[in-house]
Amino acid sequence: AQKITQTQPGMFVQEKEAVTLDCTYDTSDPSYGLFWYKQPSSGEMIFLIYQGSYDQQNATEGRYSLNFQKARKSANLVISASQLGDSAMYFCAMREGLGGNQFYFGTGTSLTVIP
């Protein structure tokens, strides 16, 4: 089974609108971390936001928030007030287990912000 599933290969959003990028994960380990990274066309991976499995509240970082629904095993990224510079690939990732090294990445979602 896929550890991380991103079902939206491509998304479009109007500038200044909010958009939700979906991510579901699969693990039986009670300790895990969930991450979102942005990859613009230049290729660099930019860390956006982190959610720990034991965190009680949803993570927020500026315009980014993570809608963490543990029972559903989902960790959707919400980008508010989209900007043209948000156009990029977005990857959801999971670190499984306490102190685990390996990141499991999803297949990514390509977001295009329309002026």
Partner 1 sequence: GAVVSQHPSWVICKSGTSVKIECRSLDFQATTMFWYRQFPKQSLMLMATSNEGSKATYEQGVEKDKFLINHASLTLSTLTVTSAHPEDSSFYICSARRDPSQETQYFGPGTRLLVL
Positions touching partner 1 (CB under 8 A) are 33, 35, 37, 42-47, 50, 52, 91, 95, 99, 101-103, 105-108
C-alpha 27, offset from chain centre: 16
Closest distance of CB 93 from partner 1, Å:
8
Closest distance of CB 68 from partner 1, Å:
14
Q: Please check whether residue 70 is in contact with residue 57, taking contact to mean a CB–CB distance below 8 angstroms.
A: no
Q: Please check whether residue 59 is in contact with residue 67, taking contact to mean a CB–CB distance below 8 angstroms.
A: no
Task: Name which of 33 and 66 has its Cβ closer to partner 1.
Answer: 33
Task: Name which of 13 and 90 has its Cβ closer to partner 1.
Answer: 90
Task: Name which of 46 and 81 has its Cβ closer to partner 1.
Answer: 46
Closest distance of CB 17 from partner 1, Å:
25
Phi and psi dihedrals of 98, rounded to 5? -75, 120
Task: Answer positive or negative: Cα dihedral of 27, 66, 11, 104.
Answer: negative
What is the chain's alpha carbon radius of gyration, rounded to the nearest angstrom? 14
